[in-house]
Amino acid sequence: MKIHECVLAEEVVGADSAERGLWEAIIVSGDIKERLRNQALLSLTVRPVVSFAVTALHGLCTLYGPPGTGKTTLARGLAAQIAAYVAGGKVRRIEIDPHGLMSPEHGVSQQRVSELLTEYVPALASDGIPTVVVLDEVESMAVARSAASLAANPADVHRATDAVLTALDFNADRYPHLFFVATSNFTTALDEAFLSRSDAAIFVPLPQATALREILASTLLSLAGTYPGLRALAEAPGLDGLAQAAMGLDGRRTRKVVFEALAQRLDTVLDPSVLTEQDLSAAIRNAVSGTDGDTTHVEAANAAH
């Protein structure tokens, strides 16, 4: 894969961008969003006028926690969220696929990482517009060197991680208009030196009952525009109990469970308006029972937190 193919998206957005909906669609504790927004704005405001020697700010924030909790969507929506607060009212978003940088060929991963982060990304942002760079599932390129398997060519693993760290140090002072947001489901797989370079590491947990209820309700209300009968279900008191029953599900799975409920009966497939609390309850029970044996990522994230 060529370097430019690792860039999944590159665009300049304003405060009125439709991408604000990405941020608003994620239901998490308000302080998580505030911390991410404020950290980005602080970095983009202070680093251009105060030297790295004073701030030690690398322009990097790591969002970590179980899969399906909205980390990537928050990272993608950050640019539009902060656009109203920066000079010019525009922020660039660059989204990177770190997996495409990794290669089994000796030394290639290191070369690609270095070229992407120290040359290609700064060139895309050479106009000086504040830029948010999203590194999704960053553990693929910043592997914990202390845990690298001897069977997985640890020399190249180390070199690729070294290249990431060198690039962060290189960019910290030279490109203060760059702000990196890394996401990870497995912080125990991240190199300690990478985490130490994060100006903030923000834990994004599984949603609690109140958030689960809001996710269920918002999904049903979105559908109610087409299927009006679902509005009553979205506002039903019984949704509190359904949210309690959904404890343990992530946000993504909770949205999907509404559609799993619709798929259970031909009647609800043909007319979603007739969906009942019983349908939702059955789908939630199935979804929760399916997660019982897959808690490794949750335990790892909680331990890291």
pLDDT computed for residue 161 by the predictor? 86
Q: What DSSP string describes 125-153?
A: TTT---EEEEETTGGGTSB-GGG--GGG-
**pLDDT mean over 268-284:** 97
Instruction: Identify the band that residue 144 occupies on the pLDDT scale cut at 50, 70 and 90.
Output: low
DSSP 119: I
pLDDT digits (tens, 9 = 90+) for 146-175: 665 544 555 566 778 888 999 999 999 899
124 pLDDT band (50/70/90 cuts)?
very high
Start and end residues for every CATH 3.40.50.300 domain found in the chain: 3-203
In this predicted model, what pLDDT tens digit does every residue of 174-222 receive, in sequence order?
999 999 999 999 877 788 889 999 999 999 999 999 999 999 999 999 9
Does residue 274 carry a pLDDT above 80?
A: yes
- For residue 180 the two structure tokens come to 């990196």
Q: Say whether pLDDT at 303 is over 80.
A: no
- Output the DSSP codes for 143-182: B-GGG--GGG-HHHHHHHHHHHHHHHHHHHHH-TTEEEEE
Range in 78-82, 91-95, 253-257, 299-303 the model is least confident about: 299-303
pLDDT for 70-81, tens place per residue?
999 999 999 999
CATH superfamily of 3-203: P-loop containing nucleotide triphosphate hydrolases (3.40.50.300)
- Where do runs of H (alpha helix) occur along 47-96? 52-55, 71-82
Beta-carbon count within 10 A of 283 CB: 22
Q: Cα–Cα distance between 72 and 22 in angstroms, integer?
A: 10
Q: What percent of the chain has pLDDT over 70?
A: 88
Written as one letter, the residue type at 11 is: E
Q: Which two tokens stand for residue 252?
A: 């993504």
